[in-house]
Structure 1
């Protein structure tokens, strides 16, 4: 039998089984004591009955003729006789008996006191120096029936009390586990970017150290991530100005180059500086996506934002006519920060433009239920490469060089907003290509 994993069920079952076993043992002990006490009461009744009947029988027998036959005591009305008796003389002759007495039940007189047969409990006594004896018999079945009825009267309340007790134990344990369930729910509801301390009020003393350890771990993780984000953001910010200045100098050198060799070196410098500028921008976007506010207090129309991003990206000389946008006829509202959604879509579309086939358009589609698809033509991405494409600085097998941060930024924003980013290759309804599918969080 597998032990339940739930602490609530473990406690309920353990306490319930323990209570049931204890009550069962108490019932058995009570039954034994009750049976012993009942036997004492019945034995006392036998003895008292014999001591009352024997003197009366002696008076009756002494006062009649010696030749009188045995006398059977008549009954006043029909009834079940649980006690029967015989009065005999010293030679064992029956002088008096109760109306239902069966001679086969009574063995010969062997002395005063109690005795047992397979079917009856007997008590014997004597009077007139042993010349008269009395033997009273009680069926053992009568005692068993009486004891059974008493035990049934004892067990019936337990049959009701035990289930009620089990239900009460379960309810008490459930109420006691409410702080633990609340603590668990807070942990489950946390997003990947929420590292604030978890409220741990009214937790049991056994669980409280766990909550403190979790909050301590979250605090250390939060400070570590803040340091990393701060370093990335500050480094990128500090690089923007010198990179922009160097890029301007490179452009000036190209314009004033005295010969082709100098111009070619200046153009190579300009290309490297532009790549560094894009990397700086991506680092700032990554820092913002990991540390910024990604959800909006009021829903925004992400279709309008998507149209603006596509218009901006499609206006460049090298991307004119390469983006096909499909939008629904109704607004698509979502509780996502407008800047965060713009960064996500920009990175997905830039990734498709950069790594997709240059002779086919990038298809961008947003459905009314908040599903964004960005698909491009190109070679199929192997599954093992596809699985790690959204990791930072992962470039896959593309021929075009990039920073390797675009999909990582998109994945971070998707996770932080409660959405889902799925990468598939080949693209939907194609035998080749790559598709990024973003499902807006509810």
Structure 2
């Protein structure tokens, strides 16, 4: 089943709260604008009605004072040429003919019917009022542009504070959420740092009650796991250690027996027993190294110089394999000593396994190359006696061997992989086909940078 895509809890909370906050604020502003427009309409309608009621007697009186007027009369306004007239009016008779009109109103009658009350079209809001006799009608029109302008200005006054406050609110949401989620992140960091090499209890005393029980449960689980791993290491180490003495004794006795059976028909069988004991002895040695690797010995307290350890291991390999041709190269002569915070025994075990691996599986008569670079990288390469098929990284697994029939435990590279990971580095393996048709096997150790000088 494929793994689901991971996501950030804090990011999702911040985004969700921010989006909901924006939506609620926008809805509140829209509702406020709608309410404000309704209130504006009530105020403007009230003013429109009151203005019509006040104009009615004045216009009727003005009309009767002009008995000789034959056509629509325009009431002159001295300010009409300067200021915009929001309110315009017409005095009409029962037939709809315009008798009087304001200075900025055409003589053309309004579209509003001669019926008392309010009437609206796309541009105006008109209030109609009739005289007591019903022969004259006063219509006062209010431009809707005036109302729209007032609504826009009112809406802007509502939106502007929101545009300023909303980013601040989102910032506070981010700060509060980050502060609330901080204990979860600390717990996540503490849990993610635990693995087979770090099973120390999680110490977290400031967790909220929703998370307080998690560290205790994890600590119990890690304690049981640590006990199980320690028991496994102890069994492997103790068994190998206890078997070393009797096997060493049996190996010595078998070597003497092989010499005494010179020319005897039973000597081939004795040699097979001797070969098996030597292989068992090698296996026990590797099991001890593996137990030490599983115990987490890779990291040292102080930086250690790599070059002396490199030379020491190579000198031991030269004594153990006198027939092996080794080419040593060191590129750190000008850069000074190389120091890394590693355990000296762990580094020696890792390099020894790489050199023994090269000595066992190298093509006879070829040269094994060991190189120490200025950046602390250690490279061991050899021409493989047998072809390497498939993924070369599969050789990192325990008891995984290639097609070679040479004696070996199948644990060397697994031990190196475990130790180098504890040192904060990595092991790179490569198998390249040479122009001659042979396979060049390369193992490279990379260590994390540590500028400190050796103690």
TM-score, structure 1 as length reference: 0.84
CA–CA distance in 2 between the matches of 1:378 and 1:426?
A: 10
Alignment of 1:155-304 (within 5 A): 155-186=159-190, 193-198=197-202, 218-251=222-255, 253=257, 260=264, 268-304=272-308
State the shift of 1:133 in Å. Answer: 3.9
320-329 vs 246-255, greater mean Cα deviation: 246-255
Corresponding residue number in structure 1 for 2:399: 393
Tell me, what secondary structure is at the counterpart of 1:404? Answer: coil
Corresponding residue number in structure 2 for 1:360: 366
Q: Secondary structure at the match of 1:240?
A: helix
2:443 match: secondary structure: strand
Deviation at 1:381, TM superposition (A): 3.4
Could you tell which deviates more after superposition, 85-94 or 24-33? 85-94
Output one character per residue of 1:35-84: Cα deviation in whole Å (capped at 9) or x when no partner. Answer: 1111111100011112223344456667x475567765442434211112
Taking a change above 3 Å as real, the CA distance of residues 374 and 116 of structure 1, as seen in their structure-2 partners, is closer
Query: 2:146 is matched with which residue?
Result: 142
Aligned residue runs from structure 1 range 74-153, under 5 A: 74-77=76-79, 78-87=82-91, 96-106=100-110, 110-130=114-134, 133-153=137-157
Equivalent in the alignment of 1:441? 448
Equivalent-residue separation in structure 1 for 2:96 and 2:247 (angstroms): 133
Stretch moving more, 390-399 or 230-239: 390-399
For the residues of structure 2 that align with 1:416 and 1:75, how far apart are their CA atoms?
A: 96
| Cα deviation code 1:374-408 (max 9, x no counterpart) | 22223353232633222222232222222222221
Q: How far 1:157 sits from its partner (Å)?
A: 3.1
Match of 1:23 among 22, 25, 35: 25
8 Å CA contact 1:300–1:335 kept in 2: the answer is yes
SS of the aligned residue for 1:383 comes to coil
The CA distance in 1 between the partners of 2:256 and 2:305, in whole Å, is 43
1:256 to 1:115, Cα distance in 2 relative to 1, 3 A? closer
What corresponds to 1:324 in structure 2?
327
Cα contact 1:109–1:133 (8 A) shared by 2:
no
- 1:135 offset after TM fit, Å? 2.2
Q: 1:166 to 1:381 in 2, by over 3 A?
A: farther
Could you give the per-residue CA deviations for residues 225-283 of structure 1, whole angstroms, max 9, x where no partner exists? 22221211111111122223333444555677798457666555444333322222111
2:313: which partner in 1? 309
Contact kept, 8 Å, 2:386 with 2:403, in 1: the verdict is: no
CA contact (8 A) 1:380 1:434 kept: no
Q: Distance in 1 between matches of 2:14 and 2:443?
A: 49
The answer to whether the 8 Å contact 1:114/1:122 transfers is: yes
Equivalent in 364, 383, 388 of residue 377 of structure 1 = 383
Equivalent residue, structure 1, for 2:414:
408
- Match among 24, 31, 34 for residue 36 of structure 2: 34
Structure 2 match to 1:45: 47
Does structure 1 conserve the Cα–Cα contact (< 8 Å) formed by 2:96 and 2:114? no
Change (3 A) 1:337 1:104: same
Q: Distance in 2 between matches of 1:94 and 1:373?
A: 107
Instruction: Give the whole-Å Cα distance in 2 for the aligned partners of 1:325 and 1:9.
Output: 54
Residue 452 of structure 2: aligned partner: none
Partner of 2:439: 432
- After superposition, the C-alpha distances for 1:412-442 in whole angstroms (9 at most, x for unaligned) are 1112212111222248897434222111233
Sort the Cα spacing of 1:145 and 1:321 in 2 relative to 1 into closer, same or farther, 3 A: closer
Structure 1, unaligned runs of 5 or more: none
Distance 1:211 1:382, change over 3 A: farther
TM-score scaled by length of structure 2: 0.82
Distance in 2 separating the partners of 1:311 and 1:366: 15
Higher alpha-carbon deviation: 80-89 or 191-200: 191-200
Conservation of the 8 A alpha-carbon contact between 2:298 and 2:420: no
Tell me the distance in 2 between the aligned counterparts of 1:113 and 1:294.
Answer: 95
Counterpart contact for 1:303–1:331, Cα < 8 Å: yes
